[in-house]
């Protein structure tokens, strides 16, 4: 085992906010929702009309290429170049995804398999080994958890960890309609995602990719690399309750956050900002609020908590990784991004959600939450680079 | 993890955890449905147990029983499989599966269960539901190298005190059928526990799960075969499944 810390030495992202981590960060800080009417495919009679799509790909999917792969490759390349490892390569790439599928209607029903997609992202950035993981909407965060643990265990010194996904295609989208988890409100598309608001009725489906280069501190120092942030704690847990619903006692999210804080050996009061899972579903937002109260006690009311899904939508498998990138940028910039569209707060959601405008990042660490279908829960504690 | 350069040997947390129980593919009974019911799967879980999740569920619950795990609060669960099913047209009762028909099907009449249970983390979810497994958890798509990473991380979770036990289940479709939507698979499982506390043996090596010896082809490159081989190698010292429980 290595006793050195795990640094973040590179980040990359492609989201509805833009084709880089910097563009993504600028977009969330500006507080402009990327929700729009979906024009990429025929919505038929779908009750949901809004989505958040990456710029330049709003109107069509490439015919025989994978958009999910394109997003992942761009974000991964950015992260590796940012880390200064484009020539050296990396020991390992942990890439979460759920493959890339299309409509099974006499055409190619599958574009890419999970492991093939992972390989196609890992190989161009010089990753010598790869892991293809799947933890649904917690997968991006879980990739960071596993990358961190494998570095601590001495299995790797440099890890590209993250995820890529797009469910905004004429197959996955209709399956999500089947669950009635997306917003079906009759409202402008940019208002569809309103986390912690009493009018919320579901998420704004998004897409994107996010990657962090995780690096053993000693290895980074030896090559003269500076940290962007430090991964101070990671935690994961299982709801063991239902395939898609959160448990009413918020047990899974509570355990994940406590595990991350225990791993960081930090008291809860050392966290100043929480990037919430904050999907804008009726259940998640109050459940996560309850969990925050349980974990942080009286300190919960001093936290700044925001949901960047209010601007970027929910990138499903990639969400946790994108939000980890956002947390790194928040630490670097000293800014807490806002929750937008929060005009009628739900009385059951009674914390400070940084409504409408960004503000100075509170002192202390940042914590990022992700919860996914299948009961997966993951939390990350990130600290400022010294 | 995919094949690549070997890491220099160094002590790992895996030295502190070992196999406390194991169930091989050969241990599973012919009537998996009955075994799942006997293992406590309620009807709403049984509906989710298709040809791939069913053997994984039976193997996993049997391994937990063999390890004496009755409280899953601090038990983790990792699953690994090369199975990654193709998209399959829904049954529209003879109606052509046009784009519009498929969309309408999912918007109006489909049961979410029919497609949720094809998510590759389905087996893990059902095991966690029934046995209350609330520790660290994740699913990995891949073969022996993925299994090696899973065993390493599971052992680390035990050795560092993050979990008291970790269940690891490998399940796969028959060779060449990794993309088949409806297929009957095979599964095996182990439980990792602390060596000191439980007297567990067969420490999990960092390369555990790789095909033993030079005849790796014999194992077919699947995680389920690699885990079977690991269990065989540790057989004299690992708790088998209780007789009559399978």
Within 8 A by CB and 6+ apart from B195, the residues are B16, B17, B18, B201, B203
pLDDT at site A2: 64
**A 63-82 near B (Cβ less than 8 A):** none
Q: Scanning every residue of chain A, which has its alpha carbon at the shortest distance from the alpha carbon of B6?
A: A155
Q: Which residues of A352-384 are buried (b: 16+ CB within 10 A; e: fewer)?
A: bbbbeebeebbebbbbbbbbbbbbbbbbbbbbb
Q: Residue B137: its chain A contacts at CB < 8 A? A: 135, 236-238, 375-376
Give the closest residue to A361 by CA, choosing from A382, A344, A346: A382
Report how far residue B164's alpha carbon sits from residue B156's, in angstroms, rounded to the nearest whole number. 11
What local confidence, expressed as pLDDT, does residue A287 receive? 97
Chain A hits for B128, Cβ within 8 Å: 238-240, 375
Query: For residue A176, how many C-alpha atoms fall within 13 Å in the half-sphere facing its CB?
Result: 28
Task: Measure in Å the smallest separation between the Cα of A33 and chain B Cα atoms.
Answer: 26
CB-CB contact of A38 with A49 (8 Å): yes
pLDDT at residue B204, rounded to an integer: 57
Q: Is the ipTM of this complex over 0.90?
A: yes
Q: Which residues are CB-contacts of B8 (< 8 A; sequence separation ≥ 6)?
A: none
Residue B86: per-residue pLDDT = 85
Q: What is the CA radius of gyration of chain B?
A: 18
Q: If we measure between CA atoms, which residue out of B161, B143, B154 comes closest to residue B63?
A: B154
A258/B contact by beta carbon, under 8 A? no
The predicted pLDDT at position B88 comes to 78
Q: Is B93 exposed, middle or buried (0-12, 13-18, 19+ CB in 10 A)?
A: exposed
Q: How many whole angstroms separate alpha carbon B126 and alpha carbon B148? A: 23
In the residue annotation, A187 being an active-site residue is answered as no
Task: State if pTM tops 0.90.
Answer: yes
Is the torsion defined by CA of B153, B155, B156, B161 positive or negative? positive
Could you write out the DSSP letters of every residue in chain B?
--S-PPPPP---GGGGEEEEEEE-GGGS-S-HHHHHHHTT--HHHHTT--TTHHHHHHHHHHHHHHTT----TTEEEEEEE---PPP-----TTS---HHHHHHIIIII--HHHHHTTSTTHHHHHHHHHHT--SSEEEEESSHHHHHHHHHHHHHHHHTTS-SEEEEEEEEPSTT-TT-SS---EEEEEEEEEHHHH--EEEPPTTTTSPPSS-GGGGTT-HHHHHHHHHHHHGGGSBPPPTT--
Confidence of residue B238 (pLDDT cuts 50, 70, 90): low
Question: What pLDDT is stored for residue B199 in this prediction?
Answer: 55
* A356 is known as an active-site residue: no
The gap between the terminal CA atoms of chain A, to the nearest Å, is: 23
- Give yes or no for residue B39 having a pLDDT over 90: yes
Structure-token pair, residue A346: 């739900």
Q: Least CA distance to A154: which residue of chain B?
A: B12
> Is the CA virtual torsion A117, A119, A120, A124 positive or negative?
positive
Report CA torsion sign: B40, B43, B48, B49: positive
Which positions in chain A touch B87 (Cβ < 8 Å)?
Answer: 101-102, 104, 109-110, 171
Query: Residue A372's closest CA among A209, A238, A194?
Result: A238
Helices (H), chain A: 21-30, 67-83, 114-122, 139-152, 172-179, 217-222, 251-264, 282-296, 309-312, 319-333
Residues B243 and B246: their CA atoms lie apart, in Å, by 7
Rounded average pLDDT over B149-172: 95
Q: Give the C-alpha distances (Å, rounded to integers) separating B91 from B94, B106, B115, B119, B182.
A: 7, 11, 12, 18, 13
Residue among B1, B99, B112 minimizing CB distance to A92: B1
Please say whether the beta carbons of A209 and A56 come within 8 A.
Answer: no
| pLDDT value at residue B90 | 86
Summarised one tens digit per residue, pLDDT across range B55-88 is: 999 999 999 999 999 999 999 999 999 999 987 7
Give the separation between CA A270 and CA A273, rounded to whole angstroms: 10
Q: How far apart are CA A161 and CA A148, in angstroms?
A: 9
Q: With CA atoms as reference, report the closest residue to B185 among B123, B239, B109.
A: B123
| Closest residue in chain B to residue A136, using alpha carbons only | B121
pLDDT of residue B2: 34
B225-246 CB burial, b ≥16 within 10 A, e <16: bbbbbbbeebeeebbbbeeeeb
Question: Which residue's structure tokens are 């484009």?
Answer: A86
In angstroms, the separation between the Cα of residue A155 and the nearest Cα of chain B is 7
CA distances from A2 to A92, A142, A227, A346, B141 (A): 16, 20, 17, 45, 27
| Distance from C-alpha of A354 to C-alpha of A341, rounded to nearest angstrom | 11
Please tell me the distance from the alpha carbon of residue B62 to that of residue B169, in angstroms, as a whole number.
11
Residue among B48, B101, B121 whose CB faces A134 most closely: B121
State which residue of chain A sits closest to B103, comparing Cα positions. A174
What residue spans of A7-113 are helical by DSSP H?
A: 21-30, 67-83
How far apart CA A154 and CA A76 sit, in angstroms, is: 23
What is the distance between the terminal CA atoms of chain B, rounded to a whole angstrom? 32
Give the one of B98, B100, B121 whose C-beta lies nearest to A135's C-beta. B121
Residues 6+ apart with CB under 8 A from A179: A244, B112
Whether residue B212 is predicted with pLDDT greater than 70 in this model: the reply is no
Interchain pair B13, A153: CB under 8 A = yes
Distance, CA of A2 to CA of A168 (rounded, Å): 41
Give the pLDDT band of residue B242 (cuts 50, 70, 90): low
A167 vs B: CB within 8 A: no
Residues of A in contact with B147 (CB under 8 A): none
> Which one of A134, A235, A253 makes the best mutation probe of the B interface by having the most chain B beta carbons within 10 Å?
A134
Query: How many residues can be counted in chain A?
Result: 386
Q: Phi and psi for B165 in degrees, rounded to 5?
A: -145, 160
pLDDT, mean of each 10-residue run, chain A (386 residues)? 87 98 98 97 96 95 86 98 97 96 58 93 97 96 98 96 96 93 97 98 98 98 97 98 93 98 97 98 97 98 98 98 98 98 98 98 97 96 93
Nearest to A115 among B10, B124, B142 (CB): B142
Residue A110 distance to chain B (closest CA, Å): 6
Which one has a higher pLDDT value, B115 or B77?
A: B77
Interface of A with B in 351-370 (CB under 8 A): none
Return the residue matching tokens 């028959």.
Answer: B174
Cβ atoms A34, A54 nearer than 8 A: no
pLDDT band (50, 70, 90) for residue B128: very high
A314 carries an active-site annotation = yes
> Residue A97: phi, psi to the nearest 5?
-165, 170
Average pLDDT score over chain B = 84
**Residue A115 and residue A98: Cα distance in Å, rounded?**
9
Q: What is the pLDDT of residue B13?
A: 46
DSSP state of A62: -
Q: Count of A–B CB contacts within 8 Å?
A: 197
For tokens 């020991």, name the residue: A91
Task: Taking the CA atoms of A48, A49, A55 and A57 in sequence, report the sign of the dihedral they define.
Answer: positive
Given the residues A82, A98, A314, A376, the one annotated as active site: A314
Q: Which of B56, B139, B206 to mutate to test the interface with A (most CBs of A within 10 A)?
A: B139
How far is residue A65's CA from residue A119's CA, in Å, rounded to a whole number? 15
Residue of B66 and B243 predicted with greater confidence: B66
What 8-state DSSP symbol labels residue A107? S
């Amino acid at each position: 085992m290595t006793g050195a810390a795990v640094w973040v030495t590179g980040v990359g992202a492609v989201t509805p906010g833009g084709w880089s981590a910097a563009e993504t960060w600028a977009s969330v800080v500006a507080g402009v929702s990327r929700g729009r009417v979906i024009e990429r495919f025929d919505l038929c009679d779908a009750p949901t009309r809004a989505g958040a799509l990456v710029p330049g790909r709003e109107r069509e999917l490439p015919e025989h290429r994978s958009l999910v792969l394109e997003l992942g490759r761009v974000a991964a390349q950015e992260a590796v170049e940012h880390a200064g490892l484009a020539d050296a390569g990396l020991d390992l790439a942990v890439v979460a995804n759920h493959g890339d599928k299309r409509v099974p209607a006499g055409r190619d029903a599958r574009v890419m398999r999970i492991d093939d997609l992972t390989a196609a992202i890992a190989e161009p950035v010089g990753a010598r080994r790869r892991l293809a993981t799947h933890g649904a909407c917690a997968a991006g965060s879980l990739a960071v958890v596993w990358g961190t643990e494998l570095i601590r265990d001495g299995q790797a010194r440099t890890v590209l960890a993250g995820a890529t996904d797009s469910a905004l295609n004429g197959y996955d989208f209709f399956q999500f309609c089947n669950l009635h988890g997306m917003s079906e409100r009759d409202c402008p598309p940019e208002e569809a995602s309103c986390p912690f608001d009493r009018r919320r009725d579901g998420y704004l489906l998004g897409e994107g990719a996010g990657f962090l280069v995780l690096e053993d501190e000693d290895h980074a120092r030896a090559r003269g690399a500076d940290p962007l942030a430090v991964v101070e704690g990671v935690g994961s847990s299982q709801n063991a309750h239902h395939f898609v619903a959160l448990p009413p006692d918020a047990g899974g999210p509570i355990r994940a956050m406590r595990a991350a804080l225990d791993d960081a050996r930090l008291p809860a009061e050392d966290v100043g900002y929480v990037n919430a899972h904050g999907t804008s579903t009726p259940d998640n937002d109050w459940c996560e609020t309850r969990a925050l109260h349980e974990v942080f006690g009286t300190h919960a009311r001093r936290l700044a908590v925001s949901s960047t899904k209010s601007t970027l939508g929910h990138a499903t498998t990639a969400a946790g990784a994108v939000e980890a990138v956002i947390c790194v940028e928040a630490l670097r910039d000293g800014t807490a991004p806002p929750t937008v569209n929060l005009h009628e707060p739900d009385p059951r959601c009674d914390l400070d959600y940084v409504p409408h405008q960004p503000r100075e990042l509170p002192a202390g660490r940042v914590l990022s939450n992700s919860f996914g279908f299948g009961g997966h829960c993951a939390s990350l504690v990130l600290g400022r680079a010294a | 993890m995919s094949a690549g350069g070997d890491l220099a040997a160094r002590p790992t947390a895996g030295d502190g955890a070992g196999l406390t129980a194991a169930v091989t593919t050969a241990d599973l009974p012919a009537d998996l449905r009955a075994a799942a019911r006997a293992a406590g799967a309620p009807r709403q879980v049984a509906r989710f147990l298709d040809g791939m999740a069913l053997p994984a569920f039976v193997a996993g619950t049997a391994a937990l029983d063999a390890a004496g795990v009755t409280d899953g609060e601090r038990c983790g669960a990792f699953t690994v499989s090369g199975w990654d099913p193709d998209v399959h047209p829904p049954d529209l009762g003879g109606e052509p599966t046009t784009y519009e028909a498929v969309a309408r099907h999912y918007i109006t009449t489909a049961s979410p269960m029919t497609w949720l249970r094809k998510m590759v983390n389905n087996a893990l979810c059902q095991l966690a539901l029934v046995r209350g497994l609330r520790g660290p958890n994740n699913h990995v798509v891949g073969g022996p190298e993925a299994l090696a990473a899973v065993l390493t991380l599971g052992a680390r979770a035990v050795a560092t005190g993050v979990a008291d036990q970790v269940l690891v289940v490998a399940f796969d479709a028959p060779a060449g059928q990794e993309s088949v939507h409806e297929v009957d698979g095979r599964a095996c499982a182990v439980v990792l526990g602390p060596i000191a506390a439980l007297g567990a043996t067969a420490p999990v090596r960092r390369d555990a799960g790789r095909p033993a010896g030079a005849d790796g082809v014999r194992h077919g490159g699947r995680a389920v075969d690699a885990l079977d081989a690991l269990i065989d190698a540790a057989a004299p010292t690992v708790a088998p499944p209780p007789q009559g429980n399978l």
